[in-house]
Structure 1
């Protein structure tokens, strides 16, 4: 019996030890947030923690002579993934944002330590984070000192035989020199203070290079430290009247790269000048087991007079300055997990390993955002012999990831008011799979800078339109005469229709004016833009391509029913030079006699599989001697010409659908055709028929109408003084159509395998209960400036 109890205790202990192995890595950052009325300092502490689940977090405590306390704590999930080593189920990264009160702007130290890392091949067991921060007023920027913005994805992996370079995210707001070194103070910065074999670290460029090592099912635990040094000699001034001089890192201390960590020193560390007696804390969480005292140090601060904090602006420098040679301004931990996988047949990017392609931003790109306006980062990758599966990323609280129907990834984030003036790195990699193997792309990081409003606009989304109102002063004096939508050919797309003396106003149908449609798992997104149009070619100046104001509406998808576009579509009226005003009409008829038109109140129209659908397009024009040409007709689940997953009925004037029949018409301004009804694959039960049409001078052999069926890309180029012989292309549509469903004796809907129209598309729109309108402003003369503007929900 005793032996059985002992065995049970041993099993429980083993289970406890295994479950305790949960740490994957993390980092921290500090932000100065001003002063309280009593003179104390407000600070924001952001920590990113990665564990094997989403409910653990790092507990930070202060030690030293300037210890403060946390006032609030908010935790949120950033990202999670199941592509992990075989012995792990998943990892989860969270961010904890804490507000702290510090007694003064003097330097301080924060520490976090506990057990245990997940199983590592380089014998890292306990995790140790040690940070140092200094909010002293800088003599070069005349602002409180700032720490570097650092980030990395929590989990990196590479095949054994593929050398790869990782450029770590280390952006310094003050322009300081950032150094990324490996931890060298055992028990404070690291547990195993040696860079793993097979890697090389360039400290000055913060570049980690994987060279070669054998694969293993366990990960490497990386324990790094990020420090920043002034590029020249500067002074830091404090509110108590004291100061400290900081020197740049001498060239003799510069280490380009090393493959093993330097030996641990027994002398005092770089922050030796601070008193570091760790305070006793009683609020430690259950998993905080370490009680390692802070290292013993000496204090060398010389008492000073009570000069005010702004005393440094005077020309007389006091003699009571504290001097420390070549010490960093701040120190932050950076820990992450790295897995070396079995070899891959080819290391060339784009084969097995995903390769980034446009519009993915480059590493180090700076993206401008505004408060309360969504910023969007689009990421696309390709791989010939593996399947793109997921994107993993690390970023600030409330950042989200999405995947659209084109297999592009979209990272979205809306900065809050408290983020104004800050900058945040966002890092990402794309993962692909082939069988049981998983592969990662290179890692890229961008920096999002939050600025004040640059353009004032409001977007209102309805079931069928987007209304955008832009303050004219935001366009630097440009008026509606200088501006246009993506496709202004339809008269309803003219900005002159609704604009007034103070605002550019556009009411844009979701299926007109060049509106683009994108789709992901959760939303349908309709996008358009206001941009500068063509000026008089004889003018001495031009305003073309100065600005773009991109706006979109976002609709949630639920189920397979649409409340949008259920009504019969109205006629399309167009004005073009040389053709005047003409109107397109698209209708469905009940028979091949084309006499009885379906009533607009009968939509959506219902058909049985195999029924023939009769359609007629006609154009009325104030100009004689014209003819209409139908260049293409397609079927789609949405009434939008820019939706990509469509089925072609007519393409380039050529018949494509095998059941298509062209019926005779009494004149050249009518086009009659019919096809057999079809059934969708899946649950999609509605469709629109959309056609691209144009007008031409009748009988002219040089027009597109005269060429008929043609795959040629040739166009008619004519001098502006020559007569106009053909119009632009216009989009007309009608629907929706719906298949009549029959009861299936087996309990399901009937399925007819003799389909002549096979169409695969995304889910249809649901009730517009949550509609988001956003506008993005871009100046074409700058490198990267995308700012989302205010969103109004309808």
Structure 2
């Protein structure tokens, strides 16, 4: 009875534990972009929330209640990354709330946070309009190492031109809850720069800031009562990690990456595209983590040796997002994080065109008719389309232009379910400096989604399959002078980056396939292999494609708990291995000197990481990762596949297992050839060189995703619209 009573009490405690809500962690990052609503004098605002939460990513079902003016951004392109561990993602929504707002918010079962906003309406004396609170860019979760000081610049902007100041949130005024200051953090309020002194134990810390806007004043004149006009919350997280590698191995930002706090202006239906380029000598870049607006495309990630790059693109469709949209990104390695970079997308405000303006579209072109009376003081002879080769004509009453959908610089982008063809009529001054007004007129023809055939258009980058075909990679192992490439390995030519081929042959005694065969015929069947050729193969037959082997390692155990590098970052690690020069670039052959390798048993396992590459310019080649001449520009000017990881089964090192194999030299394998050895992590070959049936072709582990395929051009009736506006302004225009 006593035993049953104890068991019952234990069961009750277990039930209570399971029913108790899990610990509510703070967000890993939060910003709120606040837009005052004119219709009620700014008493309510449109709040645009961006929150970073731990994985698994919570849904957005609870952020919008029934009857609320609220919109959750459920995007097909989620921001989700792995560093810091375990993983994290971004959730975004917008909601109409009071201008003075304090509330606890909850996402899923893991993330609960407190938000305090003070955006009480204030009419600005300089323009008579409502004050607009500052914008703060949300960075990915911050990382640092113990005893390694680092600065984090928080990027801010203000549409009114006000000075933005950052300060720590105060619990005594209700701006935060449980927000004790950290002694290892310092804040430069004027520049919004957070400094980690390095004097903190490993762990995760939460930081609560407030961003304020103040009326700017000349340096020689300080306003006595320059109190903040508004303040908005900024939540950050800092993960401090142990590091045995020192403090100077953070990935470096390379040329071609947007400058810090830079601004890119975006017209309606315009696509903006930019790259993030990094170099990391100590550890390879695992990911380039990005936080940006909904439907920001992130394509073409490549981490090859010590170089890494990512292409980002955003298409301005019809949206109710804020006028300023930040994009922040960092490069993460296993132990380090790069400097934080943020760039801003500025959605230009457009005004309605005057009466009488028409844009008519048909299946092949758009036709523009524009009253010249609306173009006061604009030099009509300086107007041109995206391509200056297409004529723009005018008379005393109207300006006209015939704009083909397939020329004159017309581009196609996808807005929601619509395919949109866009061009721009703009002033191009023929003098270096001009005070004359300029014209910027976006034009568009839109095809309804029901008329668009084929896959959805995404970003103007081909998919991996479109570029390289259906890629398959595998490993093979053969004695010198044997196997499908025996004519290359029987009398090999070696790359001379480590040893000359003549010296290698003297030391190893490699000769023709005939001598190898005769030598092997006289050996004991339990004799160990002295040399072995590692074939890293692919089925790619695309012209100008090249294989890049970034890493290979050898282990005597299948789990690779104790492994030894053969190649790292594209470089052969010792004179135990030499590369055999081949005629084609879509496969590699390496001669392994088993006598000198640290192999004590009769079998080994090998794993390699592989990319295929095509240089985009015919005059270029793919980067040589072991050459000092390789640069970020070579990486950007090349197209890469995902990184493929292929692992062998047990590779026998006994000559007996190779004795009965065909030693006749053959031609190169066809492009659709199957692997001749079972070599993935999920398959093992029972006999070296045995042929796998088609059903056992290995599945290669891919670490990246690719963009969508472009659609076919629709030929049905097209509806034409003019997108909004003439932007005319008197200013000094300096033409590049």
- Tell me what 1:27 maps to: 31
Q: Is 1:223 aligned to 2:226, yes or no?
A: no
Deviation at 1:678, TM superposition (A): 8.4
- Tell me what 2:271 maps to: 374
- Tell me what 2:324 maps to: 423
Deviation at 1:26, TM superposition (A): 1.7
Match runs of 1:308-707 below 5 Å: 327-348=227-248, 352-405=249-302, 407-419=308-320, 422-433=323-334, 438-452=335-349, 477=381, 502=401, 553-558=460-465
Whether the 8 Å CA contact 1:370–1:450 is kept in 2: the answer is: yes
- Tell me what 2:692 maps to: 746
Deviation at 1:10, TM superposition (A): 4.0
Whether the 8 Å CA contact 1:228–1:330 is kept in 2: the answer is: yes
- Tell me what 1:718 maps to: none
Report the Cα distance in structure 2 between the residues aligned to 1:169 and 1:688, rounded to whole angstroms.
35
Whether the 8 Å CA contact 2:100–2:118 is kept in 1: the answer is: yes
Q: Is 1:112 aligned to 2:58, yes or no?
A: no
Provide, for residues 157-186 of structure 1, a one-character-per-residue CA deviation record: whole Å limited to 9, x for no partner. Answer: 111132111111221111222221112125
- Tell me what 1:134 maps to: 120
- Tell me what 1:715 maps to: none
Partner SS state of residue 48, structure 2:
strand
1:748–1:150 Cα change, 3 Å: same
Whether the 8 Å CA contact 2:329–2:341 is kept in 1: the answer is: yes
Partner SS state of residue 58, structure 2:
coil
1:743–1:530 Cα change, 3 Å: farther
Provide, for residues 236-286 of structure 1, a one-character-per-residue CA deviation record: whole Å limited to 9, x for no partner. Answer: xxxxxxxxxxxx9967xxxxxxxxxxxxxxxxxxxxxxxxxxxxxxxxxxx
1:771–1:162 Cα change, 3 Å: farther
1:375–1:41 Cα change, 3 Å: farther
- Tell me what 1:81 maps to: 81
Report the Cα distance in structure 2 between the residues aligned to 1:763 and 1:92, rounded to whole angstroms.
17
Partner SS state of residue 79, structure 2:
strand
Deviation at 1:131, TM superposition (A): 1.0
Partner SS state of residue 409, structure 1:
strand
Partner SS state of residue 4, structure 1:
helix
1:95–1:229 Cα change, 3 Å: same
- Tell me what 1:592 maps to: none
- Tell me what 2:421 maps to: none
1:553–1:482 Cα change, 3 Å: closer
1:479–1:362 Cα change, 3 Å: closer
Whether the 8 Å CA contact 1:219–1:339 is kept in 2: the answer is: yes
Provide, for residues 418-446 of structure 1, a one-character-per-residue CA deviation record: whole Å limited to 9, x for no partner. Answer: 4588112222211112xxxx211111222
Partner SS state of residue 313, structure 2:
strand
Report the Cα distance in structure 1 between the residues aligned to 2:322 and 2:108, rounded to whole angstroms.
37
1:176–1:556 Cα change, 3 Å: same
Q: Is 1:163 aligned to 2:149, yes or no?
A: yes
Partner SS state of residue 502, structure 1:
strand
Whether the 8 Å CA contact 1:156–1:338 is kept in 2: the answer is: yes
Partner SS state of residue 134, structure 1:
coil
Match runs of 1:95-106 below 5 Å: 95-99=92-96
Deviation at 1:771, TM superposition (A): 8.1
Whether the 8 Å CA contact 2:270–2:315 is kept in 1: the answer is: yes
- Tell me what 2:51 maps to: 49
Q: Is 1:4 aligned to 2:7, yes or no?
A: yes
Report the Cα distance in structure 2 between the residues aligned to 1:75 and 1:193, rounded to whole angstroms.
29
Match runs of 1:709-720 below 5 Å: none
Report the Cα distance in structure 2 between the residues aligned to 1:638 and 1:129, rounded to whole angstroms.
54
Deviation at 1:389, TM superposition (A): 1.4
Report the Cα distance in structure 2 between the residues aligned to 1:683 and 1:439, rounded to whole angstroms.
23
Report the Cα distance in structure 2 between the residues aligned to 1:145 and 1:388, rounded to whole angstroms.
42
- Tell me what 1:670 maps to: none
Report the Cα distance in structure 1 between the residues aligned to 2:282 and 2:309, rounded to whole angstroms.
18
Partner SS state of residue 7, structure 2:
helix
Report the Cα distance in structure 1 between the residues aligned to 2:126 and 2:69, rounded to whole angstroms.
32
| TM-score, with length taken from structure 2 | 0.51
Deviation at 1:40, TM superposition (A): 8.9
Whether the 8 Å CA contact 1:109–1:131 is kept in 2: the answer is: yes
Whether the 8 Å CA contact 2:140–2:328 is kept in 1: the answer is: no
Provide, for residues 202-235 of structure 1, a one-character-per-residue CA deviation record: whole Å limited to 9, x for no partner. Answer: 122211111121332x3011111122222369xx
Deviation at 1:400, TM superposition (A): 3.3
Deviation at 1:50, TM superposition (A): 2.2
- Tell me what 1:209 maps to: 195
Report the Cα distance in structure 2 between the residues aligned to 1:126 and 1:73, rounded to whole angstroms.
20
Partner SS state of residue 131, structure 1:
strand
**Residues paired across the two proteins, number:** 471
1:554–1:499 Cα change, 3 Å: farther
1:678–1:231 Cα change, 3 Å: closer
Report the Cα distance in structure 1 between the residues aligned to 2:616 and 2:179, rounded to whole angstroms.
66
Report the Cα distance in structure 1 between the residues aligned to 2:222 and 2:386, rounded to whole angstroms.
54
Partner SS state of residue 35, structure 1:
helix
Whether the 8 Å CA contact 1:161–1:344 is kept in 2: the answer is: no
Report the Cα distance in structure 2 between the residues aligned to 1:193 and 1:402, rounded to whole angstroms.
38
1:83–1:481 Cα change, 3 Å: closer
Partner SS state of residue 447, structure 1:
strand
Deviation at 1:417, TM superposition (A): 3.0
Provide, for residues 496-547 of structure 1, a one-character-per-residue CA deviation record: whole Å limited to 9, x for no partner. Answer: 89999835769689xxx9xxxxxxxxxxxxxxx99999xxxxx99999xx99
Report the Cα distance in structure 1 between the residues aligned to 2:268 and 2:385, rounded to whole angstroms.
30
Deviation at 1:339, TM superposition (A): 1.0
- Tell me what 1:151 maps to: 137
Deviation at 1:152, TM superposition (A): 2.5
Q: CA RMSD in A?
A: 6.1
Report the Cα distance in structure 1 between the residues aligned to 2:547 and 2:350, rounded to whole angstroms.
37
Report the Cα distance in structure 2 between the residues aligned to 1:767 and 1:170, rounded to whole angstroms.
36
- Tell me what 1:280 maps to: none
Whether the 8 Å CA contact 1:116–1:127 is kept in 2: the answer is: no
1:177–1:408 Cα change, 3 Å: same
- Tell me what 1:712 maps to: none
Whether the 8 Å CA contact 1:128–1:188 is kept in 2: the answer is: no
1:420–1:559 Cα change, 3 Å: closer
